[in-house]
């Protein structure tokens, strides 16, 4: 195994003094959120008002779950009388599970008296959630969950690889009937793991959801496996394994070099050694480690990709513990300088047994960060990054307009000037690519978007520069 060079605080200080565009500021005063650790976050526009709301769960020291409505400026008000279990070691994912255009909730965890559980809650469109019985789902408190449409039928299915309430190791894709009732597909090829990480990713750019599973197996051996989807939700183990066998705490996927394929970031442990790996995809699902990434080696942590400075490439945040554990805990932000050149540019505290959520919470079109953990509980960091580029092709009096805005999905992008050629990309407020169209020309572009309600960033890129606009999707 090739070992990454450990990034030390002295190196941080040197590099941060030469920081580029990304800059986070710890909120002062902090929003009134529960102070927790050993839990999870979920964010999204649950009530259709155009801003990102927040769900939190974790230890306070007692178990606690709270749902907050956002006023659009990052001020949160806790909703009362929610049906959610107070829990720890949870997985919380907002996703439209019944196809009605609003965000429902997958929720698993350990509720103490309720023990380990799994719940599906349907949203009525206004942020009111009602539990929907799903007896086929395993009951667990673990981290091995992801959601995607595996069989191309237009609804979201659930991947689960965990040890359940009865200490049985379970790994399967649970298929959605379109109404958020889930049944096991009966797959026997997927590896069950304990407290690992799973991720859907289209590794060969063929339009279907492949799977990465990493973690500790029942025999305590560590694995990282890639499974290829035939397009109908049937999986086979990839014949060539490019990933090192580790126990990943987290896996993130994004196109880091803008070459049209998905790259993979993992952090966790190799034996007892903390590790982080960035794997670059050659476009055919073959991966090679980017040794020059020089990311912090982290266990008991989390990682994420996001375009933090709206410059069109994916930056990285890695949080958690370096070798030796406490007090060697750092939340590190890496800026992508393009061509997969990453440098650490900011530290935003340090946490152990952490979770984080990255989304635009104060409506300034930049992705903010909220982190929870054992060391300093809950903290909000506002994104004050500098966005410097605009279309050189446009004069100062030229205009870019998007209408209607808010939109239900039918959208016109209108440029006053006729730019010869540009790429159109739409990102979630958390910096993830949601839609793209290449080689667009003309002054008006008509779009019919199938996006969930929420806040998005529309980005037009010419050969050298870009311009962005905020878009609100409502249902």
Which residues pair with residue 424 across a beta bridge? 437, 460
Question: Residue 292 and residue 309: Cα distance in Å, rounded?
Answer: 22
Q: Which residue, 189, 210, 192, is CA-closest to 201?
A: 210
Q: DSSP string covering 67-105, please?
A: EEEE-SSS-EEEPSS--PPP-EEEEEEEE-SSSSSS-EE
H or E element: which one contains 447?
Answer: strand 444-448
Q: Which residue, 353, 406, 454, 404, is CA-closest to 102?
A: 454
Q: Helical H runs in 69-193?
A: none
Residue 383 has pLDDT above 60, yes or no: yes
Q: State pLDDT tens for residues 78-94.
A: 999 999 999 999 999 99
State the pTM of this model.
0.85
Are 271 and 222 a contacting pair, CB within 8 Å? Answer: yes
Structure tokens at 150: 């595996």
Q: State pLDDT tens for residues 173-229.
A: 999 999 999 999 999 999 999 989 999 999 999 999 999 999 999 999 999 999 999
Question: Residue 44 and residue 37: Cα distance in Å, rounded?
Answer: 21
Residue 401 has pLDDT above 90, yes or no: no
Question: Residue 217 and residue 24: Cα distance in Å, rounded?
Answer: 38
The pLDDT value given to residue 20: 63
Question: Residue 325 and residue 327: Cα distance in Å, rounded?
Answer: 6
Interior angle at CA 301, CA 300 and CA 304, nearest 5? 155
**In angstroms, what CA-CA distances link 114 with 7, 108, 127?**
42, 11, 24
Q: State pLDDT tens for residues 110-169.
A: 998 889 999 999 999 999 999 999 999 999 998 999 999 999 999 999 999 999 999 999
Residue 244 has pLDDT above 50, yes or no: yes
Question: Residue 84 and residue 127: Cα distance in Å, rounded?
Answer: 13
């Amino acid at each position: 195994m090739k070992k990454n060079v450990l990034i030390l605080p002295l190196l941080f200080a040197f590099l941060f003094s030469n920081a580029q565009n990304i800059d986070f500021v710890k909120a002062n005063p902090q929003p009134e959120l529960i102070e927790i650790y050993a839990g999870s976050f979920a964010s999204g526009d649950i009530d259709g008002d155009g801003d990102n709301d927040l769900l939190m769960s974790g230890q306070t020291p007692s178990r606690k779950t709270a749902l907050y409505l956002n006023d659009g400026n990052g001020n949160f008000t806790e909703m009362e009388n929610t049906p959610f279990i107070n829990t720890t070691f949870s997985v919380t994912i907002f996703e439209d599970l019944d196809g009605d255009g609003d965000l429902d909730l997958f929720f698993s965890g350990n509720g103490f008296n309720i023990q380990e559980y799994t719940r599906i809650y349907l949203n009525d469109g206004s942020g009111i959630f009602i539990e929907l019985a799903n007896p086929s789902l395993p009951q667990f408190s673990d981290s091995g969950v992801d959601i995607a449409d595996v069989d191309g039928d237009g609804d979201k299915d659930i991947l689960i690889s965990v040890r359940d309430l009865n200490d049985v190791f379970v790994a399967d894709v649970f298929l959605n009937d379109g109404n958020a009732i889930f049944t096991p597909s009966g797959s026997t090829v997927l590896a069950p793991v304990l407290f690992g990480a799973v991720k859907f990713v289209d590794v060969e750019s063929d339009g279907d959801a492949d799977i990465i599973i990493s973690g500790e197996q029942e025999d305590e051996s560590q694995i990282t496996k890639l499974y290829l989807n035939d397009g109908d939700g049937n999986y086979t183990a990839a014949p060539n394994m490019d990933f090192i066998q580790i126990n990943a705490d987290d896996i993130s996927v994004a196109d880091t070099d803008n070459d049209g394929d998905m790259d993979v970031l993992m952090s966790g442990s190799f034996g007892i050694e903390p590790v982080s790996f960035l794997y670059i995809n050659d476009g055919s699902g073959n991966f090679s480690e980017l040794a020059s990434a020089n990311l912090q080696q982290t266990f008991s942590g989390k990682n994420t990709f996001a375009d933090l400075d709206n410059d069109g490439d994916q930056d990285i945040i890695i949080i958690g513990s370096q070798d030796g554990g406490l007090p060697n805990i750092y939340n590190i932000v890496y800026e992508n300088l393009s061509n997969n050149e990453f440098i650490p540019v900011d530290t935003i505290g340090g946490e152990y047994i952490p979770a984080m959520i990255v989304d635009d919470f104060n409506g300034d079109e930049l992705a903010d960060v909220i982190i929870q953990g054992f060391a300093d509980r809950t903290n909000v960091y506002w994104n004050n990054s500098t966005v410097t580029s605009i279309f050189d092709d446009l004069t100062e009096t030229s205009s870019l307009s998007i209408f209607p805005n808010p939109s239900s999905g039918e959208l016109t992008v209108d440029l006053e000037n006729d730019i010869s050629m540009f790429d159109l990309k739409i990102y979630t407020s958390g910096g993830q690519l949601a839609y793209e169209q290449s080689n667009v020309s003309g002054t008006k572009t008509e779009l019919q978007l199938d996006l969930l309600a929420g806040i998005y960033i529309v980005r037009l890129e010419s050969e050298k520069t870009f311009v962005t606009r905020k878009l609100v999707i409502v249902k």
